Amino acid sequence: MNETRIFRCPWGDVQDATVRNYHDHEWGKLNLDDQYLYEMLVLELFQSGLSWATILHKRENFRKAFKDFDAEKMAQMIDYDVGLLMQDKGIIRNHIKINAAIKNAKAILAVKKEYGSFAKYLQNFIPSPIVHHPDTIDEVPTTSDIAKQIAKQMKKDGFFFVGPVIIYSYLQGIGLINDHLEDCYFKNNGSIIFPVDDLFI
C-alpha cells in the first residue's frame, strides 16, 4: 500500500517527532494568547546560540521551572529564585538569559497596562499576519524591516535579548509571519487561533 508523502519545510521534515510536531502544529500558526506569547519569547531568547531542537526537548522543563510561563509570577522572582534555576539541570542554566526572562515578564506587564494585552502591543506593529510565499528555504529571510522596528521599540520598552533576528524568528513562531514554503502542506492547514475581541486593528 502506497502512502502519500506530505511535503514539509525541510527543517520540519525530520525524524525528530518533537521538532516535526512543532513545525506541523505551531510554527506559523497564529496564536495570540498572552501566556503563549511570553512562553515563545522566553524559548526564543534561550535558543540564542543553540539549536531549536534542544530548546523544544527541554520545553516541559522550562514550563515547570518558569511557573507555566505566567508573566505575573515570573516578574516576582528574586535573586534566590534565580539561584534555584541555576541549579536546575532540566533547563539551560544561563544566568544572563534567566534574568532576561524575568525582566521580559516585567516588560510585558508594563506594556499590558498601556495596550490591554501583549498581543495588542504586537498588533500595533503587525495588525494581521504577514504571509510570505517562499518556494525554497533559501528564500526565507532571517530578519526584516518590521522585525528591526519591533526589536528597536521593544528594547526601548525594557525587553532584553530581542535583536532583529530573534524577533523575526519569534514572529514566525507565533504566526504573525507565515514563512512556510509555498508547497508545504501545513502552510494553510491546522491554524491555531486564540480568539480575542477586536483581534485585528
Q: Which residues are catalytic?
A: 22, 44, 52
Q: How far apart are CA 144 and CA 197, in angstroms?
A: 28
Dihedral sign from CA coordinates of 58, 60, 61, 62: positive
C-alpha cell at 141: 529571510
Which amino acid is present at 197? D
φ, ψ (nearest 5 deg) of residue 41: -65, -40
Assess contact for 192 and 30: CB atoms under 8 A. Answer: yes
Assess contact for 7 and 169: CB atoms under 8 A. Answer: no
C-alpha cell at 189: 492547514
Going through 111-172 in order, the beta strands assigned E by DSSP cover 130-131
